[in-house]
Amino acid sequence: MGPTKGHAFCGALMSNIRQHRKLTMPQPERTNVMTSAPHPYFGIWFRRFFFRAWFVIAALFVLSLLLLKNDFSVIGAVLAISFGISIPFTIGYLLYRLYHIDCPNCHAQLKTIKNVKMSKYEAVCNRCKIVWDVGIGIGNSD
């Protein structure tokens, strides 16, 4: 069964309504301009985790030296090994988190880039058109 005259009339009417809406309703402007904003929580979390991890790593180092000096060789060696292992895992985890940031607006995965000109890391959200300043610097290259 093919379309009847009623279906053709409704289809033509709906097409005219859609065309009229396009002409009369203002369309949002689509621009490729990126706005910049500070990320609300990532920089604070990153620094807080870094300093806590640094404190734990320093405590492991000091305790392992004290225990090894006072002839507690087994537990001192275990702490020394855990000190050695904790450094690359902490660095790896922080780098993973730096390059896997979520957008606070739309929760999309952001692309983290180094802005060498501004000496900082930025995370770009292509969905929201926002460049997030994550609050982490890359140091001076002077």
Establish if 62 belongs to a structural domain.
yes
Establish if 24 belongs to a structural domain.
no
Residue-range definition of the domain harbouring residue 61 = 33-137
Establish if 15 belongs to a structural domain.
no
pTM over 0.85: no
pLDDT at res. 25: 40
Establish if 22 belongs to a structural domain.
no
Please give the chain's pLDDT, 142 residues, in tens.
555 555 555 566 556 655 554 544 444 344 567 788 888 888 889 999 999 999 999 999 999 999 888 888 888 888 889 999 999 999 999 999 989 988 888 888 888 888 778 788 888 888 888 888 888 877 654 4
Q: Looking at the 3D structure of the chain, how many domains does it have? A: 1
Q: Beginning with the edge strand found earlier in the chain, give each strand of the sheet holding 130-137 in spatial order.
A: 35-38, 130-137, 120-125, 111-115
